[in-house]
Structure 1
């Protein structure tokens, strides 16, 4: 029992380290991103992001009922699939207060699919002959967590990495209106402090760093160096993410929750691929 407790504690430390390395890496890489391009990408993806998020949430709630998955678990898995994985789950959990077991189940489902996406998406992208831009859009629209989007895109290519990171972080900002909506719907259960602290505020720092290094041309050289350090930090973050895998937790999450996660993920990835083929 002691060894199991030690292993759980080690995974918790790895998870914390991966989060800090990931956020630091993304902020550092922002120093090398062109601000007008980032702004254009955010505006360009506004419509498809809105409709895809609404569609995934509605489909997730419906499938959750059909599969007999607990309502809050289905909602958390849906939000994690629609927006940005674990960050979205943590933020919305602060609003609906579902209980630790449901949070753990949804996080396990999303985290497992994220790990699979790291390896599968680059292989599929190369197999289909997707361009750097096409793969960036596809991965950002289809993969749950920012970490896995960045990991898959970095394995695909440099330009894919920058574009995918920008698209995904713009998508992550949708946590704010979604949390507000569910806060209104479940006003009696809101834990505003927990929801506030769970929001990925590093996204706003990312935007600020992009604007700073673009607005001050004299910093461009330093920005290139900082961006390179960010890519090195990303490698470390991905190592810690892999070390967090808990196969016992995967079994405990249950087949129905995983079936829901896969049933949401596959059509999301397929429709995103159709969108990429037609518009990118």
Structure 2
């Protein structure tokens, strides 16, 4: 009876994710609940599918980006974005070494914190050949902090008397994932929402140089760097959408499908994570993620207030 329930649960949540009925954190949480209650009936297939689906989702998200809009908005926020990304990446590398954290896990959490949460982790994990367990832990830490930011940021914005523009900038650079950025800025106001969304899209473009950096950092001795072609397809998708090579309705459908696909993939990721994996990993990854997130949040806020 239990194996049947496991299959029903698995396909029901997968369908809900693909139909857009659940959010990313919910999918990850339901996946983890699944791993606690049931023995995974499709464990090996799920683990094999994760990398492929992550790549497809990242490429599809490129169809929602245009060079003109992101560059135009990105110019005004370029200094803040560059400052936060470089500082966060540098601090993350040093902190991971200080805490003796696994290099791959530290790099994934740092990538997600410095750029765009789950999307950055999705893009970087195949390049550095991260295993499913490492991806699961990195995503879990990032989405947990996303949930906190969604609740915490709007009251903090009012506490520091941030304008709509200031809050839009702050949420775009200090909150990991697009969904939480949109949620927090929408609560603050329409102007904050517009600024946060466009700056967040321009920030997402930094996945490209980060991918190149990741290839260099994780190059094995005697092994050439293999170019991740899905990143090339990601760039092509941006150009295709910018120059309207495809009908806009079709591009919008691809983006929507990609977001749903990413949510479904997160369920698969959560379903392959076990309590033993978490116990073996210890408290260090979450401690690392929290310190890094507080660092970028405080640093970016000070930059916005005083520069």
Instruction: Tell me if the contact between 2:80 and 2:300 (Cα under 8 Å) persists in the aligned partners.
Output: no
Deviations 1:67-106 (A, max 9, x none): 2321100000000000000111111112110211111110
Quote how far apart the aligned CAs of 1:137 are: 0.5
2:202 to 162, 170, 174: 170
Residue 256 in structure 1 maps to residue 288 in structure 2: no
Aligned residue for 2:201, secondary structure, equals helix
Equivalent in the alignment of 2:53: none
Quote how far apart the aligned CAs of 1:12 are: 4.4
Residue 98 in structure 1 maps to residue 126 in structure 2: no
Higher-helix-fraction structure = 1
Root-mean-square deviation over aligned CA pairs? 3.8
Residue 272 in structure 1 maps to residue 287 in structure 2: no
**Do the aligned partners of residues 198 and 70 (structure 1) sit closer, same or farther apart at CA in structure 2, a change above 3 Å counting?**
farther
Number of matched pairs: 245
**Do the aligned partners of residues 66 and 151 (structure 1) sit closer, same or farther apart at CA in structure 2, a change above 3 Å counting?**
same
> So what's the TM-score if we normalise by structure 1?
0.72
C-alpha distance in 2 between matches for 1:123 and 1:207: 36
C-alpha distance in 2 between matches for 1:250 and 1:269: 31
Instruction: Please show how residues 184-203 of structure 1 align to structure 2 within 5 Å.
Output: 184-187=216-219, 188=223, 192=227, 195-196=230-231, 199=234
Instruction: Tell me if the contact between 1:94 and 1:190 (Cα under 8 Å) persists in the aligned partners.
Output: no
Q: Structure 2 unaligned runs (5+)?
A: 25-56, 249-255
C-alpha distance in 1 between matches for 2:108 and 2:7: 27
C-alpha distance in 2 between matches for 1:78 and 1:198: 24
Aligned residue for 1:130, secondary structure, equals coil
User: 187-196 vs 141-150, which deviates more?
Assistant: 187-196
C-alpha distance in 2 between matches for 1:206 and 1:63: 38
**Do the aligned partners of residues 117 and 204 (structure 1) sit closer, same or farther apart at CA in structure 2, a change above 3 Å counting?**
farther
C-alpha distance in 1 between matches for 2:9 and 2:229: 27
**Do the aligned partners of residues 266 and 248 (structure 1) sit closer, same or farther apart at CA in structure 2, a change above 3 Å counting?**
farther
Instruction: Tell me if the contact between 1:91 and 1:198 (Cα under 8 Å) persists in the aligned partners.
Output: no
Equivalent in the alignment of 1:222: none
Equivalent in the alignment of 1:115: 147
**Do the aligned partners of residues 89 and 15 (structure 1) sit closer, same or farther apart at CA in structure 2, a change above 3 Å counting?**
farther
Aligned residue for 1:129, secondary structure, equals coil
Instruction: Tell me if the contact between 1:64 and 1:71 (Cα under 8 Å) persists in the aligned partners.
Output: yes
Q: Structure 1 unaligned runs (5+)?
A: 214-232
> So what's the TM-score if we normalise by structure 2?
0.66
Aligned residue for 2:116, secondary structure, equals coil
Instruction: Tell me if the contact between 1:73 and 1:106 (Cα under 8 Å) persists in the aligned partners.
Output: yes
Equivalent in the alignment of 1:182: 214
Instruction: Please show how residues 1-280 of structure 1 align to structure 2 within 5 Å.
Output: 2=3, 3=5, 6-7=8-9, 9-16=11-18, 17=20, 18=23, 27=64, 39-187=71-219, 188=223, 192=227, 195-196=230-231, 199=234, 252=278, 254-279=282-307
